[in-house]
Each structure stands twice: as C-alpha cells, then as structure tokens.
Amino acid sequence: MPFTSNIPSGPLEQKWTRYISEIKLVSPANKRKFQVIVVGTGLAGASASATLGELGYNVKTFCIQDSPRRAHSIAAQGGINAAKNYQGDGDSIWRLFYDTIKGGDFRAREANVYRLAELSVKIIDHCVAQGVPFAREYGGLLANRSFGGALVSRTFYARGQTGQQLLLGAYSSMLRQVRAGKVKLFPRREILDIVIIDGAARGVIARNLVTGELEAHSAHAVILATGGYGNIYFLSTNGMNSNVSAAFRAYKRGAYFANPCFVQIHPTCIPVSGHYQSKLTLMSESLRNDGRVWVPKDPKDKRAPQDIPERDRDYFLERLYPSYGNLVPRDVASRATKLICDQGRGVGPTGYAVYLDLSDAIKRDGKEVIEKKYGNLFEMYEKITGVSPYESPMMIYPAVHYVMGGLWVDYNLMTTIDGLFALGEANFSDHGANRLGASALMQGLADGYFVIPYTLGQYFASHFFPEVTESQKPFEDAKKQVSEFIQRLISIRGKRTVSDFHKNLGSIMWEYAGMERNDQGLQKAREMIKNLREEFWQDLFIPGSVSEFNQTLSKAIRVSDYLEFADLIVEDALNRRESCGCHFNVAFQTPEHEPKRDDENCAYVAAWEYQGIDKPPILHKEPLLFENVKLGIRSYK
Amino acid sequence: MSRTINLTLKVWRQPDYRSQGRFETIEAKDINVDMSFLEMLDVVNENLQLQGKDPIAFDHDCREGICGMCGAVVNGRAHGPLKGTTLCQLHMRHFRDGDLVVIEPFRSKAFPVIKDLVVDRSAFDEIIIAGGYISVNAGSAPEANSIPVPPQNADLAMDAAQCIGCGACVAQCPNGSAMLFVGAKVSHLALLPQGRPEAARRVLGMTKRMKELGFGNCGNERECEAVCPKQISISHIARLNREFFKASFISREV
C-alpha cells in the first residue's frame, strides 16, 4: 500500500466539490450486494451506519454498550461549530477553516480541514431536520454562543447536552435503518481483530461480552469509529468503557498510527479528590464564556473565595492573554493553570485547582439567565462536590479529555489497509496538535453523514472483491489467535487486580507523558512501562471464567492493549523535536513558556508502522504542505 | 480529611438469566463520603477480587449521569434516594454510618437480568425502531433556519428529549409501564414542526410495540416521574395520550 494522502488537485475551495463530481458511483442495484461493518455507535459510527443504510448498503453495526445510544459522544456538553454566520459577526467557511488550522498549531492537513469547515453547515441543516432541539432565539431562529480559540459566535447548542441530542439524532436515524432492514445491530460486542484477506480488510473477530463467545463477521469493508484512547491515563473524562483495542489491533495488522502523542488535556474539569476516584468530570468549556479564571494574588490567602476582594485576585488568563482572555484554546489554558499550581499558587485541599468564577456574570445577567445557560452543569458540579456554584466559585483543574492522534487515514478516510476506514476521534486527520472546542461533534458527524458515503462508494466501485466466507482460514486463524490470547490472560492467576495495573500505568503516563514532557522523563517512562507490562503478565488476577459475563476479563483485555500502546505514545513524543499544541516538550519553549514549533523540520504527520512487540516501530513522515495559510506564531495575546 | 462511614450492603447476586438469584450480605468498610455510589462499588469489588471472589456486576459508562447505562434499585428506589440523580451521580455523603443498603437490579418482565445488577434493556431500542425518529436522509434537509420553532416549544421538546433511556421509570412503576419513556420521545418530536408529518404513524407504531414487548400500561401512580433522573414530567404522558387518540380517531394510519 503506497503511503499517500490522496488529496485531490485543484484550488482548496474546489477540491471536495470536484472530488464528488468525479468519483465512480455504485449503482443502486449493486449497493445492496455490499456488506459493510461499522464498529462503534458514537456520532461518527451511528451517522455512518444511518447514511450507508439510507444509500442501500447492508450494514452490521457493533458497540460495546448495551445500547448504541450510550456511546461516549453522548457526554459532550458545549456545542457544535458551523460556519453559518447567522450572527453576522464575520464568520465564513474560510474563517472556521483557518481557526481550526491555527488552533491545531499548524499540524493538520489543509484539504481535510477545509472540507470539514465546508460540511459544517450541512450538518446543522440535517440535525435540525432530524428534530434535534437546538437552543433558539425568541423569533424561533437558531441561537449561537462562542467557544475557545474563536472571535465569532458559531457554536450551536442544546443546553449543556449537545452531544446527547446530536447522538440521539444519529441513533434514531440509524434505528430507522434497522427497521428498513439495512442495519443490523450487535450490542455488547468488543472487536478484537481485523481480518485481512488478499491485503484488504474483509471482516472482524468480535467478542460477545455477555457469553464470551468469539464471532467472525465478514464484509466488503470495515469502518472503525471507536473513539479515542484517553483512558490510557486511567483518570480521564472518557467513558469507562472507551478503549483503544480495536484501533490498536488494526495497527498490529498493518494500519499506520498517526501522532499518538497528541493528547488533549482539558482545562476545566472537577479536580481529583481521592485515590478511589475512577474518572474525572468535565465542566463544559462554554462556562469560560461567562466565567473568569483566577487564584488569590497571595498564595497564603486562605479566605473563602467570595471574601477575597477584586484587588487581591489574579485573573491570570486575562492577564497573560489580554485579547482572548478566558477564551484561549484548551492547551493554552491547561498549561497556564498547571504553571500557576506548580508555583504553589493553586487553591483547594490539594493545591491543584483554580477558581472558575461566574459571579460577575450572575450579577450582570441575573441568576435566571445563567441558570438557563448552565443550569445542568451547575447541578452536576453541586452533586459531585456538594458545593453550589451559585454561591461559591467552582474549582477546576485540567484532565485528559480527547486525543487528536489516531489511525492514519488518507483524504478518503481510509487507513493504510485497503478497505479499512477510520472515522471521528479514531482517526487523526482534522485537529492537528490541538482540537478546538465544539469541533469534535462537527468532525464525527461530517465523517459519518457526508464524507464516508462518497469515499466508500468510490472504493467499492474501483475494486474487485473475491468471494469471502466466515469459515475461511483467515477467519479461523484470527479467531484461534484471539482465543489463545484470552486463555493466556485468564490463566495468569496472579495476585494483583486489573484496576491496580491500570492505575499504575495511568500515573506513569500522566507524570511523564502528560501536559509537560521532557526526554529524560519519557525515557524513564519507557522502562517503567516495560516493567509494568512484564509484571502484568506474571501477576494479574482475573476472577471467573472466559465463557460468561466477565467485566474484569473484558477490562483486562483492554488494559493489556494499553500496556503495549503506551510505548507508542512515548516513542512518538520522543521523536517530535519541537513543542506544538498539546505536545509540550520543555526543551522547546519560548521565553514566555509557550510551545516553540520547528516548521522547517517538524511540519509532518508521524505515522508509525508496527514491527512486533518490543521492536521499535518504523516511522513514516507525511509532509504537511501549507499552500493556503501562512504558518504564523500561534498567539492569543 | 474527608469523613468515612461503614455500610452493610445486601446485594442481588444472580449468575445469569437462567439461574435463581439471591441476596448476599457484604460489608463496605471505610467508605469515603465524597465517593460516588459506583466508586463505592468499585472499592467493594476490589476487595472481593483480592479475596478471590467474583465482583458485583453492574453496568456503567460515562459516570456523568448522561449515558443512561448505570442504574439499580437502592433501598426500594430506582437510582437511590436523591431526586433527579442517576446512581453514578449519587454520592455517599447522602448515607449515614451503619446504614443497611439494599441493592437490586431494575426489575421488569421486559428487562431480563444478565448478571447481578446488569439487565437487558434492548426493548427500549425496539420501541425506538418502531417509529422514534423523523424520516430524513442525510443531504436532503432544507436550510436550518427555514424552519423557525417557537423557543417555548423548543424548550419543552428539549425537556422531553433529555431522557437518557435508563429504564428507572419502568423499574419503579407497579405496572412495569414504559409510558414515560415512550411519552418523552413522542412528545419531543410532536412538539416540533419537523416531527408533525409522521406524528400519527410514530405514536401508533411505538405504543403497539411497547405492548408487544411486555410493558404494562400507565396507572397514574406517578412513580416514574418521581424517580426519573432527568425529572421528565408525566405531562409528556398526557401528550402521548393526546397524540394517540388523535391518531386513532382521525388518522388513516390505523
């Protein structure tokens, strides 16, 4: 498989339109002869399943939850960006494109990002038609708010539950196709291998999480929409079941993995309160619209926050970044927060927190207005901490939230394995080294509703497909391999629990491959991970058996993949000799503690090819060509 | 330092759908009151595993109260004692030292037990398949602002659309009715102009499927509303009934 991005020629603005008008099409009669597998039912997976069903393809859709409606896209709070310019504040497709490229610190592909900005307007049209109850103005038209990294209001929202409403829209469209007989659902299934025949992805091995049975499923193409790997850090805002297994096993089968070290740490999460904690909760970035982030000027000031007068507060984001203020992009806000806390100026019982204060907004707009905008977030905060944000400012601290890295894909969203596609957070393509708020929902839906329906058709129309059945040897072999792997895992019979290993791995990753990295720490992490992996395979204990509903076993499989995948994050972080976006290596910084890019040597996508366990992977570089934007210093000052 | 408490748990243990279940008594010691209920179960499960025992199976994912995956009946109440709260958002500060806590799965004829506290709620997906959508193909939608929606309708629709499909309403209802779940979806789409063309077909299809799947009818007990973590009002059941009668009397869809 040649390693090329397959970006269509021609001017940026015309690439996608021209691509659509020139691709080969599959006749309606032939569409029903094709079988597609979609793994994952978040925004990308559900929208792809729905649309492919609408077109007449036969779709088998898999998810790990009991119902496809529960994929973690559901937890996205703030909103979805679209270049509608309904507010007349100067927005345009170009501006959304530029903000996204700049927000990603110039490490994304121009053509992909432009297509994303172009499709953003169609997404809103489609979601409104599906009945998504977006917020509206008194006249009945759609309302917008602003988000980090942008000076326009282009974010559409449904209270603080935008992800939920968009996902339920995609889910209901997908279920409509179940009724039409075009989509078949396989819930409570984990994909543990991709089956490749004659160099092309022709099926998967799924594990039934209720019975433990391994199932073989064949298809003409496989689409992975399996989300991100943030849970490798143990504590993250990801759903507890989100994992890297399907994507990682595709990587082991030959799909290149791109930019794995680009991990986004979200600035506004509820701080860690104890060692028992299982996950962290996000407080939507939209709160930074009306909220002000501060710490006391004097670190020894132990007064209650509401008793500290204005003059004794340090609104550090406003001070450091006067033009964007509290609305700087996530990576910038997270690092500033960490720096303040590392200087011993943080608040709360651990000192690892800062205040996010909405009292000025409450005074300005009244409690009712603020309640309407953020009521559910305030409620959630109060439930978790026992403190009401109406009375006292919230405490926040950064936490792992999203990964920009993912399976390498070309312009068609196809990986380096023929017929294996990756959509949404599972691919690497659109957000560069840092994703802007309200852009994940946009990308997931653009990929599923408006990109894959075309690019998959083009793939089908231009390839020949030999007959494949699930009883063929490659399926039998893959099944046997997975089964032996699981047997090996459950037979360890050691003493330590899987959560214990996961926590251990998480703390290594957070400490050495988190918000700030340095070569020495990364090398240390490499050793620690290797040792932990060895211990895992000697001392893990899994209760119960293989052929039952065994949640510990399912988790152990995921953690075993994380223990290998962690190497790749470290390797990638060590390789990138610059700081950019979320990847911050202390050796590469400006005097103001901002990341210092090296455009001459590092303007590339790092795509890694698997070589075997304990063998270093091979690095392939896809150069990033900027023909339409000027690489500038990413300043929000 | 946070306070800790000791609890006695009586937990429903059932190996699978076919087997008989029973209550097991488990001591939960030194529980930090800042933990969530599910974190408390995590701690109990870690200890069970260290003793070589089978941990308590329970469903969970987002732990932010939005995915609808978690849920159990705690001391007779679906999702526990706190109003408008899923089990994952219930924190241990609402319990007292020495409390006896009885934990059971969401019981209903339509929700078979898979293991311990884990139940099969695919019946909810079946109901949505029977009509809980607006038929629109990707790419065919008109410009978004060409469909104005009065904000009060959008707001009401959003109130209903918040349903997380957890099944607490069914578990708490003496009749095992899914009327609040169905009412929320019917109401959400009926309140929007986009949902009107299919309104009759939708309500008839969904209610028919609901009955086939073994859910009971509404007896106006209002238990569903009382335990709904999203506090969805039974006025949506009233709208469901209105839509149902309208469709039955004047629609040609029957």
Averages of pLDDT over runs of 10 residues in chain A (637 residues) are 86 97 96 98 98 98 98 95 97 97 97 98 98 96 90 93 97 98 98 98 98 98 98 97 98 98 96 89 90 96 94 96 92 94 93 95 94 88 93 96 98 98 97 95 98 98 96 98 98 97 97 96 98 98 96 98 98 98 96 93 98 93 96 85
- Within 10 angstroms of residue B103's Cβ, the number of other Cβ atoms is 23
Which of B115, B130, B157 is the last residue before a domain boundary? B115
Tokens of A634: 């990413």
- Residues of chain A with Cβ-Cβ distance to B130 below 8 Å are 179
Nearest to B64 by CA among A74, A552, A249, A329: A74
Helical spans, DSSP H, in A131-188: 162-179
CA dihedral (A612, A613, A618, A620) positive or negative: positive
Q: What part of B 94-153 touches A (C-beta under 8 Å)?
A: 114-115, 118, 120-122, 124-125, 128-130, 132-145, 147-151
Q: Could you give the 3-state DSSP secondary structure of residue A578?
A: coil
- Please tell me whether residues B130 and B203 are part of one structural domain: yes
Nearest to A165 by CA among B157, B233, B191: B157
Closest-CA residue of chain B to A68? B125
- Please tell me whether residues B152 and B229 are part of one structural domain: yes
**Mean pLDDT over all residues of chain A?**
96
C-alpha–C-alpha distance, residues B230 and B159, integer Å: 8
pLDDT, one tens digit for every residue, chain B (254 residues): 579 999 999 999 999 999 999 999 999 999 999 999 999 999 999 999 999 999 999 999 999 999 999 999 999 999 999 999 999 999 999 999 999 999 999 999 999 999 999 999 999 999 999 999 999 999 999 999 999 999 999 999 999 999 999 999 999 999 999 999 999 999 999 999 999 999 999 999 999 999 999 999 999 999 999 999 999 999 999 999 999 999 999 877 65
Distances (CA, A) of B28 to A156, B35, B43: 45, 13, 8
Cβ within 8 Å, pair A125-B144: yes
- Please tell me whether residues B65 and B149 are part of one structural domain: no
Residue A142 at interface with chain B, using a CB cutoff of 8 Å: yes
Which of B100, B115, B130 is the last residue before a domain boundary? B115
Show the domain range for B65. Answer: 4-115
Strand pairing category for A200-208 and A189-197: antiparallel
Residue B19 at interface with chain A, using a CB cutoff of 8 Å: no
pLDDT of res. A614: 81
Cβ within 8 Å, pair A125-B143: yes
Nearest to A41 by CA among A70, A18, A1: A70
Show the domain range for A340. Answer: 266-399
- Please tell me whether residues A608 and A510 are part of one structural domain: yes
pLDDT of res. B108: 95
Do the beta carbons of residue A123 and residue A442 sit within 8 Å? yes
Q: Is residue A350 part of a domain?
A: yes
- Please tell me whether residues B110 and B215 are part of one structural domain: no
- Please tell me whether residues B38 and B82 are part of one structural domain: yes
C-alpha–C-alpha distance, residues B84 and B96, integer Å: 20
- Please tell me whether residues A484 and A395 are part of one structural domain: no
Q: Is residue A341 part of a domain?
A: yes
* CATH of residue A318: 3.90.700.10
- Please tell me whether residues A395 and A477 are part of one structural domain: no
- Please tell me whether residues B217 and B140 are part of one structural domain: yes
- Please tell me whether residues B24 and B55 are part of one structural domain: yes
Token pair 């209270």 is at which residue?
Answer: A159
For residue A274, give the nearest of B2, B93, B143 by CB distance: B2
ipTM above 0.95, yes or no: yes
C-alpha–C-alpha distance, residues A16 and A386, integer Å: 50
For residue B154, give the nearest of A133, A168, A384 by CB distance: A133
Which of A376, A399, A422 is the last residue before a domain boundary? A399
CA dihedral (A374, A378, A379, A383) positive or negative: positive
- Please tell me whether residues B127 and B244 are part of one structural domain: yes
Nearest to A176 by CA among B201, B168, B237: B201
- Residues of chain B with Cβ-Cβ distance to A544 below 8 Å are 54
pLDDT of res. A636: 83
DSSP of B177-240, one letter per residue? Answer: B-HHHHHHHHHHHHTSGGGGGGHHHHHHHHHHHHHHTT-B---S--HHHHH-TT---THHHHHH
For A73: left if phi > 0, alpha if psi spans -120 to 50, otherwise beta; the answer is alpha
Contacts of B182 (CB under 8 A, 6+ apart): B127, B206, B207, B210, B240
C-alpha–C-alpha distance, residues B146 and B138, integer Å: 17
Residue A31 at interface with chain B, using a CB cutoff of 8 Å: no
- Within 10 angstroms of residue A141's Cβ, the number of other Cβ atoms is 15
Q: What part of A 545-574 touches B (C-beta under 8 Å)?
A: 548-549, 551-552
Q: What's the domain count of chain A?
A: 2
Which of A399, A423, A454 is the last residue before a domain boundary? A399
* CATH of residue B234: 1.10.1060.10
C-alpha–C-alpha distance, residues B14 and B28, integer Å: 20
Q: Is residue A66 part of a domain?
A: no
- Residues of chain B with Cβ-Cβ distance to A541 below 8 Å are 49, 52
Do the beta carbons of residue A56 and residue A32 sit within 8 Å? yes
Q: Is residue A300 part of a domain?
A: yes
| Burial of B127 per CB tally in 10 Å (0-12, 13-18, 19+) | buried
- Please tell me whether residues B126 and B228 are part of one structural domain: yes
What are the percentages of helix, strand and coil residues in chain A, rounded to 5? 40, 15, 40
* Whole-model pTM over 0.95: yes
Q: What part of A 64-103 touches B (C-beta under 8 Å)?
A: 65-70, 72, 74-75, 84, 86
Which of A399, A414, A434 is the last residue before a domain boundary? A399
pLDDT of res. B180: 98
Q: Is residue A570 part of a domain?
A: yes
Q: What's the domain count of chain B?
A: 2
Q: Could you give the 3-state DSSP secondary structure of residue A628?
A: coil
* CATH of residue B65: 3.10.20.30
pLDDT of res. A131: 98
Q: Is residue A523 part of a domain?
A: yes
Token pair 């995590």 is at which residue?
Answer: B42
Q: Is residue A457 part of a domain?
A: no
Residue A187 at interface with chain B, using a CB cutoff of 8 Å: yes
pLDDT of res. A284: 87
Residue B174 at interface with chain A, using a CB cutoff of 8 Å: no
CA dihedral (A518, A523, A524, A529) positive or negative: positive
- Please tell me whether residues B97 and B166 are part of one structural domain: no
How many helices (DSSP H) and strands (DSSP E) are in chain A? 19, 20
For residue A210, give the nearest of B32, B114, B147 by CB distance: B114
Q: Is residue A465 part of a domain?
A: no
Strand pairing category for A58-62 and A183-186: parallel
Provide the shortest C-alpha distance from residue A558 to chain B (in Å): 15
DSSP B145: G
Q: What are the beta bridge partners of residue B32?
A: B4
pLDDT of res. B254: 55
Do the beta carbons of residue A338 and residue A295 sit within 8 Å? no
* CATH of residue A546: 1.20.58.100
Q: In the sheet that A263-269 helps form, which strands lie side by side, from edge to edge?
A: A263-269, A394-403, A354-357, A292-296, A313-314
- Please tell me whether residues A480 and A343 are part of one structural domain: no
- Please tell me whether residues A291 and A387 are part of one structural domain: yes
Tokens of B133: 């959508």
Which of B56, B82, B115 is the last residue before a domain boundary? B115
- Please tell me whether residues B52 and B131 are part of one structural domain: no
Do the beta carbons of residue A501 and residue A456 sit within 8 Å? no
Nearest to B97 by CA among B4, B2, B1: B4
